[in-house]
Amino acid sequence: MREIKGIHHITAIAGPAQENLDFYAGVLGLRLVKRSVNQDDPGTYHLFYADAEGHPGTDLTFFPWAQMAPSREGYGLGSEVSLAVPPGSLAFWSARLERYGVKLGATEVRFGQNALPVIDPHGLKLALVESEDSLGRLFTPWEGSPITVGQQIRGLESARMVERDLVVTTSFLSSALGFIHVGSENGWHRFGVAGGKSGAYVDLRETPTARRGAWGTGSIHHIAWRVDDEVHQLEVRTRVTEEGARPTPVIDRFWFKSVYFLEPGGVLFELATDGPGFAVDEDRAHLGESLVLPPWLESNRATIETKLPPLAMPNADR
């Protein structure tokens, strides 16, 4: 059985697009590698932030649905995105984020790693995690970042998920996707693939008496898992079906192929291919600088552009 390779990307729901851009590119220093639209709701941006080249596993994306109500916490949702930062960099990050008035929690230790809880401008829970494993990950620093190379975010470290029934979800993760139990601590249970290193694990917590969570601004929309190619994707899709989920057909997102399904606890998952990647339709030196549409939406560009709010270059002080 070929297991999945780790996290491909995580997509969340944001408020106003400009505020989202100013925070993730201007404050956190990620590169906007693709400025596009939600292909199922083309009047909404889809903004992709990653390392300089948009490598799978470095990509945090957003649907800015500013009209939505805030999310409701509860089971069946991803509850936090963690981002990998180099060891010893949390003092820098804490001082920088405090300077910009970002909501911070107290630094804590999770499974032996220092973690700084952060809340983004629209309520999404983040954590910056000092990760030794991240130093060996595929990562291209962005020279245009306001953050020096030695302190830049290196990609997605992990995600947290809240479940009503831990056994049901973890059995599915193991049987359908190849996860193994890595460890347990303070009510959190870590499950990983590919050795469970940086970008290849999730932390789960069981809350049997909690109410069902609901999407809204500040929530994770879905977690996408890496597969090598379309053959690998179909292999995993078959196992997902055999384990009782109801995956979609393969959907062409142009920069990758996607399959979506709900895991048993209700969190939306995606299987995403590593290729062809974000440079298939833009020069690498100019990723994210202009609105890019997949070919099947290009004929509607004029209408789509009238529905999208203007976006200026990121400004951390705005």
Q: Which two tokens stand for residue 97?
A: 């984020």
Give the model confidence (pLDDT) of 34-67 as tens digits. 999 999 999 999 999 999 999 999 999 999 999 9
Q: Which two tokens stand for residue 26?
A: 């201007």
Kindly state the DSSP code that residue 217 receives in the 8-state scheme.
B
Q: What is the mean pLDDT of residues 201-228?
A: 97
- The one-letter amino acid code at 259 reads V
Query: Residue 215 pLDDT more than 90?
Result: yes
| CA dist., res. 202 & res. 81, Å (int) | 10
Q: Are 201 and 192 in contact (CB under 8 A)?
A: yes
Query: Residue 1 pLDDT more than 80?
Result: no
Nearest in space to 79 (alpha carbons), one of 189, 163, 180:
163
**Residue boundaries of the structural domains of the chain:** 7-307
Any idea which architecture 7-307 has in CATH?
Answer: Roll (3.10)
Q: Which two tokens stand for residue 57?
A: 């596993």
For 126, residues 6+ apart whose C-beta sits below 8 A from its C-beta are 80, 81, 82, 83, 117, 118, 119, 120
Kindly state the DSSP code that residue 27 receives in the 8-state scheme.
I
Q: Are 118 and 103 in contact (CB under 8 A)?
A: yes
Nearest in space to 216 (alpha carbons), one of 65, 102, 75, 79:
65
| CA dist., res. 227 & res. 176, Å (int) | 13
Residue showing tokens 């809880």:
117
Question: Strands 59-64 and 7-14: what pairing?
Answer: parallel
Q: 103: how many CB neighbours lie within 10 A of its CB?
A: 13
Average pLDDT taken over every residue of the chain: 97
Cα 4 to the center of its chain, rounded Å: 16
Kindly state the DSSP code that residue 247 receives in the 8-state scheme.
P
Give the model confidence (pLDDT) of 151-182 as tens digits. 999 999 999 999 999 999 999 999 999 999 99
Torsion of CA 151, 8, 54, 122, to 10 degrees: -70
When pLDDT is cut at 50, 70 and 90, the band that residue 135 belongs to is confident
When pLDDT is cut at 50, 70 and 90, the band that residue 220 belongs to is very high
